[in-house]
Amino acid sequence: MAVMTYAAAAASALNDAMRADPAIVALGEDLGRGGIFGQYAGLLAAFGPERVIDTPISEATIVGAAVGMALTGLKPVVEMRVIDFALCAMDEIVNQAAKNRFMFGGQGRVPAVIRMPIGVWTSSAAQHSQSLESWFAHVPGLVVLAPATPQDNHALLKAAIACGDPVAYFEHKELWPLQGEVDADQRTEIGKAAIRRVGSDITIVSWSKAVHWSLEAAEALAAEGIQAEMIDLRTIWPWDRDAVFASAAKTGHVLIAHEAVQAAGFGAEIAATLAEAGNAKLARLGAKRAPVGYAPNLEAAVRVTPAVIAAKARALLGR
């Protein structure tokens, strides 16, 4: 156990992983000097410039090249610096990395971790403050992670690299300096939420920096005699429905809090899922979370059709 920052935890996890597996490489701008936030500190010295790759300012090619590396036996960890710049590489993330395995019928795998720090960061204004995790939850093929603690940034980064899927990995810019204990051997499963506080009155579901605010809020509520249960989702996709539903059943009240814009944020997905389950009079229908296939039957299999709509309407009406 050691106390380290959220940034140092990431560097340490990557160090461990790279030491264990020579297929892992890291690429992005300014990595050689340890990254602007120290999240790659020491790695160049440890692994050399072929594995800790300083790249040109070419976001599209950073991700595109990572796809090519991943398809040919490497496991790239890709640095985008802030999610806002990843917007320069959305074709590569969404059309190439996420869909590759499916489009090519399983011939290719893209075990790439794309790090896209989210969040507000001291007056860095509109182009450096976004939180777009819900976009990636909407894209079949991607795993979506958002650690809130040094321990999780250590364990989830390792899990992300190991999982074999392309991962949208969201660190938070205001969490870089956060200190915490890190057990390097602790494993955190993708898809499992953490209950950060046990309570009986209300469930607060959150992730990333908002976890800390939620815990602060929970303390304030506790002083008033309200016991909040606080669930840190950690994995946005596949999210831990069991944990959320179990807590909701216990407390009877659910508040979802995230830093991203509320409208069409991932909180909507959670709320809608809870609402549909708890309320027989509301339902959604959309395509399955699968890329659209080419063969007519595969294309049809994921679509919403008049028959499906009618069936769902009947079910809602209990007929």
Ligand X SMILES: Cc1ncc(C[n+]2csc(CCOP(=O)(O)OP(=O)(O)O)c2C)c(N)n1
Active site residues: 128
Question: Which amino acid, 223?
Answer: A
Q: Does 28 bind a copy of itself (CB under 8 A)?
A: no
| Options 237, 244, 247, 251; binder of another protein; rule CB under 8 A | 237
Q: How far is the CB of 44 from ligand X (least distance, A)?
A: 17
Q: How far is the CB of 23 from another protein (least distance, A)?
A: 8
| Options 226, 241, 245, 250; binder of a copy of itself; rule CB under 8 A | 226
Which does residue 118 bind out of another protein, a copy of itself, ligand X, none, counting CB within 5 to 8 angstroms by kind?
none
Beta strands 2-5; 179-182: pairing state: antiparallel
Provide the b/e sequence for 29-55 (b: ≥16 CB within 10 Å).
bebeebbbbbbbbebbeebeeebbbeb
Q: How far is the CB of 59 from ligand X (least distance, A)?
A: 5
Q: Does 104 bind another protein (CB under 8 A)?
A: yes
Which does residue 68 bind out of ligand X, a copy of itself, another protein, none, counting CB within 5 to 8 angstroms by kind?
another protein
- The residues, ordered by sequence, that sit 6+ positions from 118 with a Cβ below 8 Å of its Cβ are 82, 83, 130, 131, 132, 133, 146, 170, 171, 172, 173, 208, 259, 260
| Options 14, 25, 139, 193; binder of a copy of itself; rule CB under 8 A | 139
R_g over Cα of the chain: 20
Q: Does 296 bind another protein (CB under 8 A)?
A: yes
Phi, psi dihedral angles at 76 (to 5 degrees): -80, 140
As a whole number of angstroms, the distance between CA 91 and CA 215 comes to: 37
| Options 20, 45, 57, 264; binder of a copy of itself; rule CB under 8 A | 264
Q: Does 307 bind another protein (CB under 8 A)?
A: no
Which does residue 101 bind out of ligand X, a copy of itself, another protein, none, counting CB within 5 to 8 angstroms by kind?
another protein
Q: Residue 1 or residue 310: which is nearer to a copy of itself going by CB?
A: 310
**Nearest CA-CA partner of 157 in 17, 21, 49:** 17
* Residues belonging to the chain: 319
Other CB atoms closer than 10 Å to residue 232's CB: what's the count? 27
Which does residue 138 bind out of another protein, a copy of itself, ligand X, none, counting CB within 5 to 8 angstroms by kind?
a copy of itself
**Cβ-proximal residue to ligand X, closest one:** 85
**Nearest CA-CA partner of 114 in 74, 62, 149:** 62
Q: Residue 117 or residue 180: which is nearer to ligand X going by CB?
A: 117
Residues in contact with ligand X by CB under 6 A are 29, 57, 59, 81, 85, 88
- The residues, ordered by sequence, that sit 6+ positions from 180 with a Cβ below 8 Å of its Cβ are 3, 4, 5, 6, 9, 149, 150, 151
Q: Residue 43 or residue 89: which is nearer to a copy of itself going by CB?
A: 89
Which does residue 10 bind out of another protein, a copy of itself, ligand X, none, counting CB within 5 to 8 angstroms by kind?
none
Which does residue 309 bind out of ligand X, a copy of itself, another protein, none, counting CB within 5 to 8 angstroms by kind?
a copy of itself
**Nearest CA-CA partner of 187 in 211, 149, 157, 145:** 157
Q: What is the DSSP letter of 262?
A: S
Where does residue 3 rank: exposed (0-12), middle (13-18), buried (19+ CB within 10 A)?
exposed
Q: Residue 57 or residue 301: which is nearer to ligand X going by CB?
A: 57
